[in-house]
Structure 1
């Protein structure tokens, strides 16, 4: 899968702020970095005092930019100073389009922590104008309505990576460029999923009983996108839903588990081939997700 890169071309509809000139649809615009620029600070000086102060840059209604996902550029809009992406536009990316049509809705449900916000009337008009005048209808043949939703660009990035990871594992099982989760098999063929956080393997504590010797004092939560990856692994293992439902799981590090068990215990990294992939990926289209 193509890597994700973020870039930005800050414009207002039919207006280029960098030059102050009118812009016709399709005309190229200046591209500036968009990573780690959430506040866009600009420096000014107090009148007569010479004291420097930092202001938070504000965006006029109608400002938007571009983020590259895979092989296509997808517009994002501003709500105050935050960037948001239309879910309908995001699903125009080929990999996500295939996932939408062939992947089980449970995989999308693992992302329910992602806030989907309804668009306003002005945002609806803006998305329609972007799609019509700047993208030649690339993202939809029908108009955007107040039923459409947007997500934060940070969630769009994580959603894209998560769905790409799931698609890769369900179709080929090959190693992904960034392994956010996997499994460890013990010598007795006991398989436990883990997620990687801060270069540490983190495992759900419900896999271990108190009399197994696993520590209970250094527990930590799994939430957010880490939880999405963990729920995907648990679903592949066929873990009962009541063990991994909700918006958090209690976990411990693999290092602590290793210390608690007898020395000499053998472990190996694995991605078992007998997982229930057929339950999560279908061979014919089924439209599951509403925007």
Structure 2
């Protein structure tokens, strides 16, 4: 019995010892809370709460304004992207990439063009077709060199460009692999020139026209140029430009300011045909030798002549054809009052 009592008493003491720290801690917390509540810092806490409330109101107001702007902002345009389409970054990179002007030649691309029943290869540069000047001279222009003098060739000018390394390489491949060295054993280099296919076509048309009126001596075609006799006296050259007949202004310059104000500068191949007529007639070069010549519409000129004044298609009596061709030619047989073809 005594042992049981002692053991119980000892256990109770141990339990009290274990509980003492909790009581001390609880008393310490109670004292701290009482000291805080009883202190004079309560007004500062109230001021801090008011400042927090004001800051919260400002943040709330700013968020409301931001949401209002988002509601009024226009919606972005709709975009439908295919599932097979590349990502936007890839598209931007491909659009910003600039291909070289001779990219088709780098890839080995070329074609064939037929002119005067002759096939000739062409290259592509910046979307336009170009021919090798060496090939053009050998294949197309050699026969014209045997017919006409430099006076005919000086009626026009063509811009020639230097071939790139890739274009010269492709021209060599065409010549050696596809043409069996038809254009010679000499390799093409960047020193060779290329010219636009459209210019070559116009040049061949011009030479064929010259052959028609200077060599064959047939009736003058009216789709390009010709001569008009005014009042059965004056023989004036004309050229077709935008489906209208134009005559040189220097024939009427100084006589009428009205015509001068309505004149225009003629350039290009229309000017080449007018220069040809001026050389056939033997007009001084200083009047038409240049990159442009001012011309006036023939219908405006007719207004300054009495009604019934004849304007007849003609051919000059005295010509300078001998300075244009390399061999003598017969006289021209001109059809009377031909109509525009």
Same fold (TM over 0.5): yes
Contact 2:151 2:323 (C-alpha < 8 Å) held by counterparts: no
* Structure 1: distance between partners of 2:114 and 2:139: 10
In our comparison, the structure showing a higher alpha carbon Rg is 2
Structure 1 partner of 2:133: 87
Partner of 1:111: 156
Relative contact order: is structure 1 or structure 2 higher (C-alpha 8 Å, sep ≥ 6)? Answer: 1
- The reply to whether residue 75 of structure 1 matches residue 121 of structure 2 is yes
User: Equivalent residues in 2 for 1:144-223 (5 A)?
Assistant: 144-175=188-219, 179-211=223-255, 215-223=259-267
RMSD: 2.9
Asked if 1:137 corresponds to 2:181, the answer is: yes
Residue ranges of structure 2 left out of the alignment (5+ in a row) = 1-79, 86-94, 329-341
| 70-79 or 206-215: bigger deviation | 206-215
1:249 maps onto 2:307 in alignment: no
Give unmatched runs, 5+ long, in structure 1.
1-44, 285-291
Partner SS, residue 110 of structure 2:
strand
SS at match of 2:199: helix
Aligned to 1:261: 305
| Closer/same/farther in 2, CA of residues 164 and 262 from structure 1, 3 Å limit | same
* 2:197 is equivalent to residue 123 of structure 1: no
Residue aligning to 1:232 = 276
TM-score (norm 1): 0.72
**Greater fraction of residues in strand:** 1
Cα deviation 1:227-286 (Å, max 9, x = unaligned): 1111111111111111112111111111001111222211211234642222111139xx
**SS in structure 2 opposite 1:211?**
coil
1:187–1:266 CA contact under 8 A, matched in 2: yes
Checking the alignment, whether the CA contact within 8 Å between 1:213 and 1:261 is kept in structure 2 is: no
Determine the structure 1 residue equivalent to 2:40: none
Q: Distance in 2 between matches of 1:155 and 1:283?
A: 27
Q: Is the 8 A contact 2:123 2:129 kept in 1?
A: yes
Contact map agreement 1:202 1:252 (CA 8 A) in 2? yes
